[in-house]
Homo-oligomer: A and B are copies of this chain.
């Protein structure tokens, strides 16, 4: 069976080697933001004949093709997610590290206005919210104009603002 990313690769005319197919499959797992190490671990589990250099080369290739986007949530490692058409942003749960995606029409418009006011044409934007679960039951409240996919992700490490949480002595 053929993964979504693999299909995109074929459309772009990329050669589909076994390794790329495996990596494409891993990347097609929905709602995820793995770093290269994590991708490598998952891919190697499916096919031990994959080196980390290939993972690096592949994500770079896919990024250049517009199939993937590179993210930096702090912590020293780049993380990747499939490009989607509606631009979305991220809310990081500062307690668990979970990443929640959302998009907001009203917001896009406001950003364009801010840029224009400063004399710029908006090319792209990146918005990250760092928040804490509203502690009561109220944590349901239907997303209205907002689409949200919860997305469990790596270690609980996200930093408020951009303060790094690199614990002394912890590996980077």
Contact = CB atoms under 8 A, between A and B. Distances in A.
Nearest to A104: B114
Nearest to A136: B119
Contacts of A160: 123-124
A35 interface: no
Interface residues of A, number: 51
A100 interface: yes
A69 B116 CA distance: 27
A121 to B, nearest CB: 5
A118 B146 contact: yes
The quantity of this chain's copies bound in the complex is 2
Contacts of A138: 119
Interface string A123-139: 11111111111100011
A105 to B, nearest CB: 11
Given A72-B72, A111-B129, A144 B117 contact: yes
Contact of A110 (B69, B110, B139): B110
Contacts of A25: none
Given A117-B141, A118-B141, A126-B128, 12 more contacts: A69-B163, A91-B114, A100-B118, A102-B114, A107-B114, A117-B144, A117-B146, A121-B131, A121-B133, A122-B130, A123-B160, A127-B128
15 contacts: A93-B120, A100-B118, A102-B118, A106-B110, A107-B114, A115-B129, A116-B134, A118-B148, A120-B129, A121-B134, A123-B161, A125-B130, A126-B161, A126-B162, A127-B127
